[in-house]
Amino acid sequence: MSEEILNIKNLTVDFGGVRAVNNVSITLEPGEFVGLIGPNGAGKTTIFNLITNAIRPTAGEISFKGKNILGKSPDRICQLGISRTFQNIRLFPQMTAYENVELGFHSEPHYSLAEAFVRTPRARRIEIDTRKKAMELLEIVNLKEHSHARASSLPYGLQRRLEMARAMATNPELLLLDEPAAGMNDDECNDLIKLIREIHTTMKYTMIIIEHHMNVVMDLCRDSRIYVLNLGSLLAMGTPTEIQSNPDVIRAYLGETKND
Amino acid sequence: MGYINTIIILGGINIIAALGVAILTGYTGLFTIGHAGFMALGGYMSAIFVKEFGVPFPIGILLGGTFAGLCSFIIGYPAFRSQLRGDYFAVATLGFSEATRLLLNNTRSMGESINAAESGIGMVFKPIGPLLVKLGGVFGYMSLPSPTNVFVVVVAVILALFFAHMFVTSQYGKNCIAISQDEVAAQMMGVNLLKTKMIALFVSAFYAGVAGGLMAFYFAYLTPSFFTITKSSDLLAAVVFGGIQSLIGPVITGFILVVFPELLRTFAEWRLIIYGFLFVIVMIFRPQGLLGYVEMNFEFARAWWNKIFRRKQNSQEG
Amino acid sequence: MELFIQQLVSGISIGAIYSLLAVGYALVYSVYNFTNWAFDGFMAFGAFMGFTAITSLFMPFWLAALFSIILTVILSVGTEKLAYSPLRVRKAPRLFMMISAMGVNLATVNIINLIYGGVFRKFPVENLQPIFIEGVSIGRMDLMAGGISFGVLALLWVFLYRTKWGLGIRASSIDILTASLMGINNSGVAIVVFAITGVLSSVAGVFYGIKYAVFPMMGIVTIKAMIASIVGGLGSLPAAILGSMILGILETLVSGYISSTYRDLFSFMFLIVILLFFPNGLMGKSSDEKL
């Protein structure tokens, strides 16, 4: 039996009268880089919210590394190894870029409260080590020179990269990226593709990416699979080539302006 | 000279309580209008330990603070557990503070009825009946020792500031700051909201309790009327004016807000009215207060100190 | 038994007053997501305006009530325009809104204190003879307070569920941004919401003043209404009424059968106990934040 890292079975969620996610099943092997696409309102972000337990499903199961994670608190799920970025960026606005990333490392403090009040040598060493690791992450996403800037003052594209760094700081095994390329032009997209691919190769995360920029998804998932969601239900699943020539998928997207 | 001593002592006590509110409201973003309640709990408990059980005065104060901290769990746990990002906590702080004051107002009558009880529920509390009577209800807990003096207060303020600084710069403190800026994102990044908030609340209540204890041993008596909503409002004002996410700010305003009313006795009735308007004005025009978001570190303090000294020197030479 | 019925009626009447306040609190909370501390001051303001109208301006009761309502509405809407909406426009965090609200409250209550002094005043209405039902004497004022309060709430219900403005408010309570995109006038909604708050708090203030007394700190009773709203389930208006009735009745029974000293203590413990077992209140629905 292959070791799936994420197993979503028959996931359904209703918001009042609206069925936002309908009987969706997704499985992931460790290290995969899977895409999740679909027209607006298809329920993609809702699935991320369900995985991280920001909302509770009406039916279905989610298991991570073989263990059920339904009902666990979001912070526990993060500590278990799932992290994410947000569709509408949610950085800590008044904190610097550095502090935002650092938070990911110590959201679960490494030393006791007593040690916090009297900063023992051990605590100090931990802090120095954390600082080093945070700066390394900032380096990886090319934000080192902005480390002292307030997060709210950073341009949009840099904020998205910062959010990725912060998510990476929590040391995840599964990384969920929610529209990391939103609002970017072609050049920025290309840089982003390179960065994300590099992150995937070096850090060996399992990743799911929600994106509307088709070239970004198709490129990043070229050796992998893409799930297509429409109106809450799974429409199709396959390689980028299969998806691009799938008539149902094309029909679902008709009427939307896409850059290809 | 005595007058200046009084100012320093009262100012110092206020600073310590204000630091408590700063940690909870300034750094963790949790509105509280109930810290007078924690001051009361800490004050009375310290007094009981020292006067009734002969505990040495510094230990009595620490015990009082700890008691206040433990009491904070009563509102912290139910309020922070809720899934709803609600204002439960804010409302609960007010309810808690008023309930505490009411309880303290009735200690004597409760004690008397317990002493007189021949049967019924009162019998369970028989042992503490006399103590409750001693607490005096509205009339106050009298004849306390008064070892609080300038030296004690100054030492206490320095320690309080030091440990507060340690806390807010620690990983715990930074998690609190994250909560204040985006609680949902903090949780998604692994911060345990319940635990972190309860820790912040405990520390904050401890500080208020210590302040209450110092107060008890300065005035040599305590009455519940010391711990009204007005007191809680004063503490909140120190943080609002001093600055969100700042320690030095509330220290400065915490001190000034004790000094000014003393100097402007005639305007006492206007004080809260002015605070009220200032709250709104500060929120609209300068929500970060005096020194908000300015990270306190020693370079900053040194630069500030130098600025004052240079100005003083200039004015002396000029 | 007679005592029980009297207590029950008294509890229902105070529950009705709490309902007015709790609904006002829940309404602002469900649309704007913060605790309107100024509510406390509005209630006292309403009571004092009514009191002044009768004693200094010699108005008859109903005119005085109207006078009080109108002035409180002006105060409430004014507060929204000057102290809240500038912050909301800037998406200020809830903490800042609450600080501003607390500021308005401090100013209002203490100005009243400055002008009128802390003396407990009796609201000047003739001592109405109690009604006798089945030989049990029931306070006529209690019945009136209960009846009128429920009448006001019924009117509010009609307004919220049968008028266009009500629809706008209900839509805004779900999501303000979406509501405005659907064409709902946000500042209009704000005016209406706070006007309603003004009406509710002044009526509650007048009745509370009649039942107990008129004094600057009287608004502290709004804490009971907030507790009631939370116990019922914050954000829901029917829940606020449910919570208020339960709290009002239980509280009065505790006061009557145990001791009035412990009445307020009971209310607070009630809040804690309920929250321990029902973290979202009795009727609570959890709201999920948009991510």
**For residue A181, what is the domain's CATH number?**
3.40.50.300
- Structural contact between residues A25 and A233, judged by C-beta atoms closer than 8 angstroms: no
Q: Is the pLDDT of residue C235 over 70?
A: yes
Summarize the confidence of residues B240-246 as an average pLDDT: 92
Contact B99 C268 (CB under 8 A): yes
Tell whether A27 and A141 lie within a shared domain: no
- Structural contact between residues B261 and B270, judged by C-beta atoms closer than 8 angstroms: no
> CA angle at residue B203 from B70 to B59, to 5 degrees?
70
Summarize the confidence of residues A131-155 as an average pLDDT: 93
Residue C25 CA to residue C98 CA, distance in Å, equals 13
Helix (H, G, I), strand (E, B) or coil at A67: strand
Query: What pLDDT does residue C181 have?
Result: 77
Query: What pLDDT does residue C129 have?
Result: 67
Final residue in a domain of this structure, among A170, A202, A227: A170
Q: What is the mean pLDDT of chain B?
A: 87
Looking at the structure of chain B, the number of domains it has is: 1
- pLDDT tier at C10 (50, 70, 90 boundaries)? confident
Please write the tens of the pLDDT for every residue from C181-225: 777 788 888 999 999 999 999 999 999 998 888 999 999 899 999
Query: What pLDDT does residue B308 have?
Result: 64
- Structural contact between residues C69 and C203, judged by C-beta atoms closer than 8 angstroms: yes
Final residue in a domain of this structure, among A109, A136, A170: A170
Residue among C34, C82, C264 minimizing CB distance to B99: C264
- Of B98, B100, B101, B92, the closest CA to residue B31 belongs to B92
First-to-last C-alpha distance (Å) of chain B: 29
What the block records as the tokens of C196 is 């309603």
Contact C34 B275 (CB under 8 A): no
Tell whether A166 and A198 lie within a shared domain: no
Residue A36 lies in a domain: yes
Query: What pLDDT does residue A147 have?
Result: 92
Q: Kindly identify which residue of chain A lies nearest to residue C287, measuring between CA atoms.
A: A55
Q: Is the pLDDT of residue A205 over 60?
A: yes
- Structural contact between residues A173 and A81, judged by C-beta atoms closer than 8 angstroms: yes
Helix (H, G, I), strand (E, B) or coil at B29: coil
Q: Is the pLDDT of residue B310 over 90?
A: no
Query: What pLDDT does residue B86 have?
Result: 60
Summarize the confidence of residues B116-133 as an average pLDDT: 75
Cβ of C111 under 8 Å from any chain B Cβ?
yes
Tell whether A189 and A179 lie within a shared domain: yes
Cβ of A45 under 8 Å from any chain C Cβ?
yes
> CA angle at residue A107 from A105 to A111, to 5 degrees?
85
> CA angle at residue A43 from A37 to A45, to 5 degrees?
80
Q: Is the pLDDT of residue C161 over 80?
A: yes
Cβ of C291 under 8 Å from any chain A Cβ?
yes
Mean pLDDT is lowest, of A161-170, B151-160, C133-142, C152-161, for C133-142
Residue A1 lies in a domain: yes
Q: Is the pLDDT of residue A260 over 60?
A: no
Query: What pLDDT does residue A111 have?
Result: 92
Residue among B171, B185, B293 minimizing CB distance to A109: B171
List the subunits that have 3+ CB pairs under 8 angstroms with B: A, C
Summarize the confidence of residues C244-268 as an average pLDDT: 85
- Max Cα distance, chain A (Å): 65
Q: Is the pLDDT of residue B264 over 90?
A: no
Residue C108 CA to residue C112 CA, distance in Å, equals 6
Chain B: closest CA distance from residue A109 (Å): 6
Q: Is the pLDDT of residue B204 over 70?
A: yes
Q: Kindly identify which residue of chain C lies nearest to residue A52, measuring between CA atoms.
A: C291
Most B CBs within 10 Å: which of C85, C105, C110, as the mutation test of the B interface? C110
Q: Which domain holds residue B251?
A: 2-317
Cβ of C99 under 8 Å from any chain B Cβ?
yes
Tell whether A200 and A131 lie within a shared domain: no
Express as a percent the part of chain C with pLDDT over 70.
Answer: 93
Contact residues on chain A for C290, CB-CB shorter than 8 A: 88
Summarize the confidence of residues A117-138 as an average pLDDT: 94
- Of B41, B297, B82, B96, the closest CA to residue B197 belongs to B82
Q: Is the pLDDT of residue C2 over 80?
A: no
Q: Is the pLDDT of residue C18 over 90?
A: yes
- pLDDT tier at B116 (50, 70, 90 boundaries)? confident
Residue among A54, A86, A90 minimizing CB distance to C288: A54
Contact A48 C288 (CB under 8 A): no
Tell whether A185 and A256 lie within a shared domain: yes
User: Looking at per-residue confidence, does C176 or A24 come out higher?
Assistant: A24
Query: What's A256's DSSP letter?
Result: S
Domain extent listing, chain C: 2-125+140-219
Contact residues on chain B for A107, CB-CB shorter than 8 A: 175, 178, 186, 189-191
Residue A20 lies in a domain: yes
Query: What pLDDT does residue B163 have?
Result: 96
Contact C106 B275 (CB under 8 A): yes
Residue among B29, B102, B273 minimizing CB distance to C111: B273
At C151, the amino acid letter reads G
Mean pLDDT is lowest, of A232-246, B53-67, B296-310, for B296-310
Residue B262 CA to residue C83 CA, distance in Å, equals 30
Q: What is the mean pLDDT of chain A?
A: 90
- pLDDT tier at A244 (50, 70, 90 boundaries)? confident
Contact residues on chain C for B277, CB-CB shorter than 8 A: 103, 107
Residue A91 CA to residue A152 CA, distance in Å, equals 8
Query: What pLDDT does residue B128 have?
Result: 79
Express as a percent the part of chain B with pLDDT over 70.
Answer: 87
Query: What pLDDT does residue B313 have?
Result: 56
| C240-277 CB burial, b ≥16 within 10 A, e <16 | bbbbbbbbbbbbbbbbbeeeeebbbbbbbebbbebbee
Most A CBs within 10 Å: which of B85, B159, B168, B189, as the mutation test of the A interface? B189
Tell whether A134 and A255 lie within a shared domain: no
Mean pLDDT is lowest, of A118-132, B37-51, C232-246, for C232-246
Final residue in a domain of this structure, among A115, A147, A170: A170
Tell whether A50 and A165 lie within a shared domain: no
Contact A90 B173 (CB under 8 A): no
Contact B187 A74 (CB under 8 A): yes
Cβ of C289 under 8 Å from any chain A Cβ?
yes
Beta strands A206-210 and A33-37: pairing type? parallel
Query: What pLDDT does residue C127 have?
Result: 65
- pLDDT tier at B305 (50, 70, 90 boundaries)? low
Tell whether A62 and A120 lie within a shared domain: no
Tell whether A203 and A119 lie within a shared domain: no
Residue C173 CA to residue A178 CA, distance in Å, equals 27
Query: What pLDDT does residue B122 have?
Result: 65
- pLDDT tier at B234 (50, 70, 90 boundaries)? very high
Chain A: closest CA distance from residue C289 (Å): 8
Cβ of A48 under 8 Å from any chain C Cβ?
yes
Summarize the confidence of residues A231-237 as an average pLDDT: 90
- Of C40, C189, C41, C38, the closest CA to residue C100 belongs to C38
Query: What pLDDT does residue C285 have?
Result: 61
Tell whether A131 and A200 lie within a shared domain: no
- Of B168, B308, B172, the closest CA to residue B247 belongs to B168
- Of B127, B99, B107, the closest CA to residue B115 belongs to B127
Most C CBs within 10 Å: which of B21, B25, B27, B31, as the mutation test of the C interface? B31
CATH number at residue B66: 1.10.3470
Mean pLDDT is lowest, of A131-145, B254-268, C227-241, for B254-268
Please write the tens of the pLDDT for every residue from A162-177: 999 999 999 999 999 9
Range from B200-209, B297-306, C22-31 that averages highest in pLDDT: B200-209
Cβ of C90 under 8 Å from any chain A Cβ?
no
Q: What is the DSSP string of B239-260?
A: HHHH-TT-SHHHHHHHHHHHHH
- pLDDT tier at B45 (50, 70, 90 boundaries)? very high
Across the A:B interface, residue pairs with CB atoms under 8 Å apart total 98
Contact residues on chain A for C288, CB-CB shorter than 8 A: 54-55
Cβ of B174 under 8 Å from any chain A Cβ?
yes
Contact A90 C288 (CB under 8 A): no
Query: What pLDDT does residue B318 have?
Result: 39
- Structural contact between residues A69 and B137, judged by C-beta atoms closer than 8 angstroms: no
* CA distance readout (Å), B69 to A115, B72, B163, B201, C190: 18, 5, 16, 7, 40
Query: What pLDDT does residue B83 have?
Result: 58
Most C CBs within 10 Å: which of B279, B281, B282, B293, as the mutation test of the C interface? B279
| C76-99 CB burial, b ≥16 within 10 A, e <16 | bbebbeebbbebbeeebbbbbbbb
Q: Which domain holds residue A160?
A: 92-170
- pLDDT tier at C60 (50, 70, 90 boundaries)? confident
Query: What pLDDT does residue A255 have?
Result: 52
List the subunits that have 3+ CB pairs under 8 angstroms with A: B, C
- Structural contact between residues B210 and B160, judged by C-beta atoms closer than 8 angstroms: yes
Summarize the confidence of residues B190-203 as an average pLDDT: 95
Structure pTM? Answer: 0.90
Query: What pLDDT does residue B84 have?
Result: 54
Query: What pLDDT does residue C264 have?
Result: 83
Looking at the structure of chain A, the number of domains it has is: 2
Summarize the confidence of residues A137-150 as an average pLDDT: 93
Residue B75 CA to residue B91 CA, distance in Å, equals 10
Chain C: closest CA distance from residue B250 (Å): 15
Residue B251 CA to residue B271 CA, distance in Å, equals 19
Summarize the confidence of residues A34-60 as an average pLDDT: 90
